[in-house]
Structure 1
Amino acid sequence: MLVLGPMLQEGVNASVVHMMKYLTGSAKTYVNAVQGYVDVKDVAKAHVLVYETPSASGRYICVESMLHRGELVDILAHFFPQYPLPTKCSDEVNPRKKPYKYTVEKLRSLGMEFTPIKQCIYETVKSLQEKGHLPLPSQLQH
């Protein structure tokens, strides 16, 4: 699972590195893979909900969406078309990977509401721009 969202730290963490490679053009294709995505603020909220609920027990799945990397690239292209995003999958031979089946109902039953993944991805890129890890669209050569 990848935890995204606005970064408090100055450095880039492992979860956003894979997104940056698409935005910077260092990846010419995207992989045929599916991954879980969640906003960092939602992970914090989930921890608090579970901690503060006396009846809470066991494991909780904290994921807003399962996205194929092609879907991630499509979302990035929608919000940030100025970046050199890949348009092809590195594995054109095999069928597109399907999302895993999971449920977050146990966490939702505690009152959890998730940040929409598109908003999370947008805020992640804006944070990368603000921290100087990505050029602003106006700084890109056309």
Structure 2
Amino acid sequence: MVEPAVNGTKNVIVASAEAKVRRVVFTSSIGAVYMDPNRSPDVVVDESCWSDLDFCKNTRNWYCYGKAVAEQAAWDMAKEKGVDLVAVNPVLVLGPLLQPNVNASTIHVLKYLTGSAKTYANSVQAYVHVKDVALAHILVFETPSASGRYLCAESVLHRGEVVEILAKFFPEYPIPTKCSDEVKPRAKPYKFTNQKLKDLGLEFTSVKQCLYDTVKSLQEKGHLPVPTPHEDSIKIQS
């Protein structure tokens, strides 16, 4: 996971320098930002934050490790080659699917609708709409003053809040109502800022709309049974 991420990133930066492109927009991840056990819960996660590589290795979180070292390699190579680089760091991306099959991000929601997940985890997750991620790339690409990293996130929710939203919109599905860990205190959402993208004019789609669009897309792609129009219209109004 790590080697192709790093080498692929370096190759793109080198090719960009040779082609004399004016700007490269690098899609990184929140995984390169927030994995730091030493960060205080009161600290606001922003573009200056980096994941702790030793912590990622010790916990065998190779996804976050790979994202962090790949982005760092991009910055190092861009500096060496004189490439104008801007990075977008999205959180978990939801919304309409382009492809027919489900991906890891969509399974995060689908499992709560099919009955495969009987409980929800005592954990938190940040979310963003795929259309907002796409627009973020356009804005940092087209805005001459854009520079550095851009955290792309709309909300941080506890899994309990996610299932509550899903149950309100789609009560016909077997959405879990119990937490898998009722002994420990409820995990608290971390603080973050998306002000840099807002300053470029991005107006984020609400997380409720994000979850709703995801389920509608799963229905359209045949991954979920579709309720009757009458039932659907009642849910939206409520």
Q: TM-score, normalised by structure 1?
A: 0.94
- Between 1 and 2, higher relative CO (CA 8 Å, sep ≥ 6) is seen in 1
- 2:139 is equivalent to residue 49 of structure 1: yes
Aligned residue for 2:149, secondary structure, equals: coil
Distance in 1, Cα, partners of 2:223 & 2:117: 16
Q: Which of 115, 124, 130 pairs up with 2:220?
A: 130
| Number of the residue aligned with 2:109 | 19
Q: Which of 21, 28, 40 pairs up with 2:118?
A: 28
Q: Which of 190, 208, 213 pairs up with 1:118?
A: 208
Aligned residue for 1:28, secondary structure, equals: coil
| Number of the residue aligned with 2:155 | 65
The AA in structure 1 aligned to 2:168 is H
| Number of the residue aligned with 2:165 | 75
Distance in 2, Cα, partners of 1:21 & 1:65: 20
| Number of the residue aligned with 2:128 | 38
Contact 1:23-1:83 at 8 Å conserved across structures: yes
Contact 1:38-1:64 at 8 Å conserved across structures: yes
Q: Which of 183, 201, 214 pairs up with 1:93?
A: 183
Aligned residue for 1:46, secondary structure, equals: helix
Q: What is the Cα-based RMSD across aligned positions, in Å? A: 0.8
Identical amino acids, percent of aligned pairs: 73
Aligned residue for 2:197, secondary structure, equals: helix
Structure with the higher fraction of residues in helix conformation: 2
Distance in 1, Cα, partners of 2:164 & 2:207: 13
Contact 1:83-1:137 at 8 Å conserved across structures: no
Distance apart, 1:137 and its partner CA:
2.9
Distance apart, 1:100 and its partner CA:
1.0
The AA in structure 1 aligned to 2:182 is E
Distance apart, 1:33 and its partner CA:
0.8
Distance apart, 1:113 and its partner CA:
0.5
Aligned residue for 1:42, secondary structure, equals: helix
Distance in 2, Cα, partners of 1:48 & 1:137: 36
Distance in 1, Cα, partners of 2:188 & 2:150: 22
Instruction: Mark the structure with the bigger radius of gyration.
Output: 2
Distance apart, 1:2 and its partner CA:
1.3
- 2:205 is equivalent to residue 108 of structure 1: no
Q: TM-score, normalised by structure 2?
A: 0.57
| Unaligned residue ranges in structure 2 (runs of 5+) | 1-90, 229-238
The AA in structure 2 aligned to 1:122 is Y
Aligned residues: 138
